[in-house]
Every structure is written in structure tokens, then in C-alpha cells.
Chain A
Amino acid sequence: MNTPVAEKQAASATLLEARDLTRILPAVVPVTLVEYINIKVTEAEFVAITGPSGSGKSSLLYLLGLLDRPSKGEILINAIDTQHLSSSELSRIRLEKIGFVFQFHFLLPEFTVLDNVMIPMQKLGKLPQKQQVEHATGLLTDLGLEEFLHRRPAQLSGGQRQRVAVARALANSPDLILADEPTGSLDSAATEQVFESLQKIVETQRTTVVAVTHDMDIASRMERRIHLVDGRVDYDNRQ
């Protein structure tokens, strides 16, 4: 019987594809966030999206993560065109296939670390409660957080919170992790910890990670770099 990792290794198909992706904010003077983005991301890629402030890095990430809808163009996830999917269908894809890591961890403050990681699993409801606890504990242990399972996010350091956010993003074993400046608010030691965590995910679980970063040092250590300028792809080392 094939394991999920083995299944992923079996074929290196396109996981995520953007075709002529454009997002224009409607206003008296319309604001173009991104335009005519064409990219393909395959399994187990570690992708950095870089660019100056206002170049559309985060906007592109939110579009790829189906949190925002494009004004024009298409997004395909596992060859499924998401253009005509309903809001609840997009939510389902996010739940099953995508994990998010934001700059400011965005953990639920009233819940414990373990609860924060378990909530996406509870929502998906594929695992029984006992296995959810085991899986969440395993993820947190892998990220060096086994001592903090029952603490609230406020009782953790910035780096620890961000690693909890990574564990939460991995909770439902997604195909894709989208990280928006995951190390943006961290010191160098914590940045290193989080970066290594993401790298380990790509290497061991063959999960694709797309991370927006303005840290060129971090970006240079990632295998693929897409550089945006004024909402357009300026440079992509794979194309």
C-alpha cells in the first residue's frame, strides 16, 4: 500500500497554476494589484515570491490561496479550475488542500496550542478525536513544541507561535502551504527555526511551500524564486 508521500512522489504533476491572473480593486481610480501572472508550481517545490513593497506579493498569495477572487484569469489547483466554484467549495479546497502561515501567526488566542492545531482537523472531521490529538501532538513535537501543548499563544515567543502556525497549516496534510512573510516579524534565530521547519516539510513530506518574503537571504536559499515588480512577474528562475 502506498503512503501519501509515496503517492506524491509517483507523479510530479502541476499542483498550482495561474493563467493570466489579474486583480484590480474597483475604485474611482481602479487599483491594479497584480496582472497577467502566469506561473506553474509542481509538487514539492519550495518557492519564494519576492519583490519590493506594493509589488503585489501578498495579493498574489491571497489569490493563489483562494482567499480573494481574481478580476481576470484562472487558478487551477490539481487541474481543477476554481473560477466558477462557489464560496463554500473554495472553503472546502482551502480546508483540504491548502495551509496558510501569516506574518503575525494569527492563532486563535483563547484556545491552547493543541486546540489551534486540532481545529482544522476537527472541521475536516476525517480522523477520530484520539487520532487528531495524536497527529497534532506529533506535528508540534516535530517542531519542538511538545512542552507547550496546553499553553495559550500569548504564553509563547514569536518564533514558537509561528511554528505553531506552521503545525496548524500542516494539520490536514495539505498539498500546498502558502506563507505570507512567515519570518517577517521574527529575530534571526527564530527566522532560522521557521525556515528550517518549512524546508523540512518540503523535503520530508514533499509538500509544496510558496512563501512571500522580502528577506533576500532567505529567498536565495529557496530553490525557486519569483520576483514581482508592479504586479507583474519580473523574474522566475524556472521559466
Chain B
Amino acid sequence: MMLLLRIAATHVRNRLRQTIVSTLGVALGVGFSIAMASLMEGSQRDFVATLIEAIPHVQIRDEKRSPAEQPASLIYDAVQFNGLRPREDLRGIHNPVEALASLRDWVGGSLAQQLNGQAVLRYSGQDIGITLVGVMPRQELEVSKIGDDMREGAFEEIQTISNGLVLGDKAAERLGAELGETVTLTSANGVAKRFKIVGTFHTGVTTSDEGLAYANLKAVQILLEKPDIINSISVKLDDISQANEVAARAERQLGYKAVSWEEANEGLMEAFLVRNIIMYTVVGAILVVAGFGIFNIVSTIVHEKAKDIAILKSLGFPETDIQQIFILEGLVIGVMGAIVGCALGFGLSSYLASIKFEFTTNVEMTRLPIHFSASHYFIACVLALFSSGTAGYIPARKAARLNPVDIIRGAT
């Protein structure tokens, strides 16, 4: 094999200019594909990390996957019921303490209970509709990043100060209410209760900042007339890869719909998959173009080296050797291109990672998210070698089939 490689390398070396051009073609393909893959996976990971940080890994809601069975269908053995009025239960997860305790036995992570409801917030003659979230602050701080989003006050104060309320900064701004002032919250049932603003938050998401408020769970249960009821349990897992399994088991155990972050963002994950397919298709196309360059140079060498092929065959080199020589020529260019391309890809990725952006919005991204991964280099190199090997194989097969007698006669 070393002899064949030496012959191949000699052929390639003697066509230096064409070899350099072909090598650069492969190198550019490999380099750009690595940089593109690093950028795309970086942005994907950055997005997912932000998403995972912002939302619970598993959310158990007071819903069922299928409609609840009605009492009539339990009592009577009938094919179908028409005109029955369904039983109206008080919606929610009843007896949350027991539900949480049963989950804590096996779930690795933090759990937090919430009761959400709609309410009207009134201050100085202005009314705005908000979503009120009743929470146990210590639990909530463990499963969400609300603590980081606090602008004024402390989130824990909704526990320590009676009827404390943490409000989105935009909502507070609209009402003109400030820290320490008292506002009135009225539920859909007409129950009104006074709350003291103990903090404001800013998430950067307008709907939350303008229409979300947190209060102590007990206070919210009283306001919404849902004693000892919650409507969701948020789970922050130590190992997010377990989200689907935990959601499935929790749903089986409690009977309520449990959604993992992956299921909740299924469309997004599919979009990422499609994006990756598009990316690798583009990369493949680039390398196929580079492969044409290699095909061209190896075909030229085969044409020019017809006499050498006849010599080698007359010396006793079998067809497989001749074929290997020219496949090796394609691979020599491919390997050189892949090496240069890896260096180029690393350089490009490093450069992109160093570029700084300054945004005026509150969503901060000061640098392009680049993810350095050996798999990007490996995939690009494998594609490059496959492309160059295939590009070399076609003319190599032709070379192996050349009849030495025809060449010798032609030369004489």
C-alpha cells in the first residue's frame, strides 16, 4: 500500500497547481461547513438553554388527556348517550400536598405548585386585567428564574408580608403604582382583596411584564375561591434528559396531564431538525462541488498517465492496484483539503465567536453563540473523504480497465 500511496502522491505532486486548486475547493467546503455547523448548533443550544432556563422541565396541569368519564356511562351499559349534561367538577389538582409528596419520593429535582387565575387589578381608578399566579415563593424560586428578573423588592416578600404582590414592571408603570402601594384585585367571581406591591419584575416578554402578577398561594386560593386547590405543578429536573420519562410517570401516577419541555416545544425541536437537515444538505452540496474538482484532476491524471498505467500493468501490477492508486490520488487531495479545512473551520468559528454585538433591547446576546464540537469536524471530514474517494473512484475504475496493449501500440 505504501508503494501505491507513493505513486499516487507523486502523480498529485506533479500537478501542483491543479492539486492546490482542488485542495482549496475541499478545504473551503470543509471549513465553511464546520463554521456553519458550529454556529447553527451554538444558536440551537443557546436557544434551548434559554428555553430550559425559562420554563419548567415538566409541567403537570389540571387537565386530562381525554375527557373525564361521566357518571352515566359508569352506571349504564349503553353504546352512546345523547343530551346528557356533563357533571361540573371544581377544576384543579385537589389535595396538592399529597400530590407533591408522592412526586418528591422519586423525582430528582425541585417541585413548585401554582394556582393561576384571571383577575382585575385596580389602582387609582384604573383597571387592568392580569393573570394572577399564586405560588409558594421558595418553591417558585427553585423552578423559575423569576428571582433573576426582579427589578425592585424581593420575591420572597410575598410570603413574609401579608397579601404581598409582585407585579410586572410594565403593568405597574401603566397603573402608576409604585413599591409599597396598595392595589385591589377582583376575581372573576367578584371576590375583591387588597394587596401590597412588594416587588416588580422584568422578564423581557411583554405579555408577562404587562399582565402577570405573583402572590402568595393561600391568598390567591382565597381570592379565587379554590381552597386547597392548585392548577399546576412545575418540575425542574436535575437531569433534563429525563423529562419525558418523568412526565409520563407523573401522568400515570396523578392522572393529570404532564407535559415535558420537549413535548411542549415539539414544533420547535422539529424545526431544529429540519434546519440541521438543510444545513447538512448545503454542506453536502458544497463538498459534491469540491468532488467535481477532484474528479476533474484525477480524470486528467488518468488521461495523462495512460502510459504509466500500461507500464505498471506490464510490470505485474493488477487492476486493483491501478484502481487503488487513482482512488488514493482523490483521497490524498481529500485528506489535504480536510486538514486545511479543519484549520480554516476552527479559525472561522473562533473569529465568529469573537465578534461582539450590542443590542439595545433587554434580550442580551453580546457574542454569536458558537459551539465547538469534534463531531462537526468528524462529519465534515468524513463527507469530504467520501466525496473525494467517490470522485477518485470513477476515473480509477476507468484506469484499471485500460488495456495496456492498446496504450503500448498507441505509444509506438
Query: Which residues of chain A have a CB within 8 Å of any CB of chain B?
Result: 58, 62, 65, 67-68, 87-88, 91-96, 98, 100, 102-104, 106-111, 119-120, 122-124, 168, 180-181
**B67 CB–A CB distance under 8 Å:** no
Are B314's CB and A67's CB within 8 A?
yes
User: How many A-B contacts are there with CB distance less than 8 Å?
Assistant: 71
Interchain CA distance A103-B409 in the complex, whole Å: 10
Contacts of A122 in B (CB 8 A): 3
Interchain CA distance A67-B315 in the complex, whole Å: 10
Are B404's CB and A92's CB within 8 A?
no
Beyond A123-B3, A123-B316, A168-B315, list 11 extra A-B contacts (CB 8 Å). Answer: A58-B412, A62-B408, A67-B314, A91-B319, A93-B316, A94-B316, A95-B317, A102-B408, A103-B412, A106-B310, A107-B311
Given contacts A58-B409, A67-B404, A123-B3, A110 and B10 within 8 Å (CB-CB): yes
Could you tell me the distance in whole angstroms from the C-beta of B210 to the nearest C-beta in chain A?
77
Interchain CA distance A201-B310 in the complex, whole Å: 25
Q: Which of A106, A108, A120 contacts B316 (CB 8 A)?
A: A120
Are A120's CB and B315's CB within 8 A?
yes
Identity of the chain B residue whose Cβ is nearest the Cβ of A181 in the assembled complex? B412
Interchain CA distance A101-B12 in the complex, whole Å: 27
Interface residues of B in 307-353 (CB under 8 A from A): 307-308, 310-311, 313-321
Of the listed residues B14, B308, B311, B320, the one surrounded by the most CB atoms of chain A closer than 10 A to its CB is B311
Interchain CA distance A116-B404 in the complex, whole Å: 18
Q: Which of B308, B319, B409 contacts A88 (CB 8 A)?
A: B319
Are B313's CB and A110's CB within 8 A?
no
Given contacts A110-B10, A110-B14, A119 and B315 within 8 Å (CB-CB): yes
Are B409's CB and A91's CB within 8 A?
no
Identity of the chain B residue whose Cβ is nearest the Cβ of A98 in the assembled complex? B316
Contacts of A87 in B (CB 8 A): 318-319
Could you tell me the distance in whole angstroms from the C-beta of A112 to the nearest C-beta in chain B?
11
Determine chain B's interface SS by DSSP, over half rule: helix
**B411 CB–A CB distance under 8 Å:** yes
Could you tell me the distance in whole angstroms from the C-beta of B374 to the nearest C-beta in chain A?
37
In the complex, 25 of the A-B residue pairs with CB atoms within 8 angstroms, ordered by the A residue number, are A58-B412, A62-B408, A65-B314, A67-B314, A67-B405, A88-B319, A91-B319, A92-B316, A94-B314, A94-B315, A95-B316, A95-B317, A100-B315, A102-B412, A104-B411, A106-B310, A106-B411, A108-B308, A110-B11, A119-B315, A122-B3, A123-B3, A123-B315, A180-B408, A181-B412
Interchain CA distance A58-B412 in the complex, whole Å: 11
Given contacts A62-B405, A103-B412, A119-B3, A91 and B313 within 8 Å (CB-CB): yes
Could you tell me the distance in whole angstroms from the C-beta of B13 to the nearest C-beta in chain A?
8
Are A104's CB and B316's CB within 8 A?
no
Of the listed residues A68, A92, A123, A168, the one surrounded by the most CB atoms of chain B closer than 10 A to its CB is A123
Interchain CA distance A106-B408 in the complex, whole Å: 9
Contact with A along B56-81 (1 / 0, CB 8 A): 00000000000000000000000000
Could you tell me the distance in whole angstroms from the C-beta of B172 to the nearest C-beta in chain A?
82
Are A91's CB and B405's CB within 8 A?
no
Q: How large is the interface on B (under 10, 10 to 19, 20 to 34, 35 or more residues)?
A: 20 to 34
List the 9 closest A-B pairs by CB distance, nearest first. Answer: A95-B316, A91-B318, A94-B316, A88-B318, A100-B314, A122-B3, A68-B405, A110-B10, A106-B311
Interchain CA distance A68-B405 in the complex, whole Å: 7
Interchain CA distance A65-B313 in the complex, whole Å: 11
Interchain CA distance A41-B336 in the complex, whole Å: 51
Given contacts A106-B310, A110-B14, A111-B10, A95 and B411 within 8 Å (CB-CB): no
Interchain CA distance A206-B376 in the complex, whole Å: 62
Could you tell me the distance in whole angstroms from the C-beta of A70 to the nearest C-beta in chain B?
12
Contacts of A96 in B (CB 8 A): 316
Interchain CA distance A236-B314 in the complex, whole Å: 27
Identity of the chain B residue whose Cβ is nearest the Cβ of A111 in the assembled complex? B10
Could you tell me the distance in whole angstroms from the C-beta of B345 to the nearest C-beta in chain A?
33
Are B315's CB and A95's CB within 8 A?
yes
Contacts of A124 in B (CB 8 A): 316
Could you tell me the distance in whole angstroms from the C-beta of A41 to the nearest C-beta in chain B?
19
Are B412's CB and A123's CB within 8 A?
no
Are B320's CB and A88's CB within 8 A?
yes
Could you tell me the distance in whole angstroms from the C-beta of B75 to the nearest C-beta in chain A?
84
Q: Which of B308, B313, B404, B412 contacts A104 (CB 8 A)?
A: B412
Identity of the chain B residue whose Cβ is nearest the Cβ of A107 in the assembled complex? B311
Contacts of B308 in A (CB 8 A): 108-109
Contact with A along B9-28 (1 / 0, CB 8 A): 01100100000000000000
Contact with A along B116-132 (1 / 0, CB 8 A): 00000000000000000
Interchain CA distance A96-B3 in the complex, whole Å: 17
Contacts of B307 in A (CB 8 A): 106
Of the listed residues B11, B316, B411, the one surrounded by the most CB atoms of chain A closer than 10 A to its CB is B316
Could you tell me the distance in whole angstroms from the C-beta of A62 to the nearest C-beta in chain B?
5
Are B317's CB and A123's CB within 8 A?
yes
Interchain CA distance A168-B314 in the complex, whole Å: 11
Identity of the chain B residue whose Cβ is nearest the Cβ of A96 in the assembled complex? B316
Are A67's CB and B317's CB within 8 A?
no
Could you tell me the distance in whole angstroms from the C-beta of B305 to the nearest C-beta in chain A?
9
Contacts of A103 in B (CB 8 A): 412
Could you tell me the distance in whole angstroms from the C-beta of B201 to the nearest C-beta in chain A?
75
Interface residues of B in 81-138 (CB under 8 A from A): none
Interchain CA distance A210-B93 in the complex, whole Å: 102
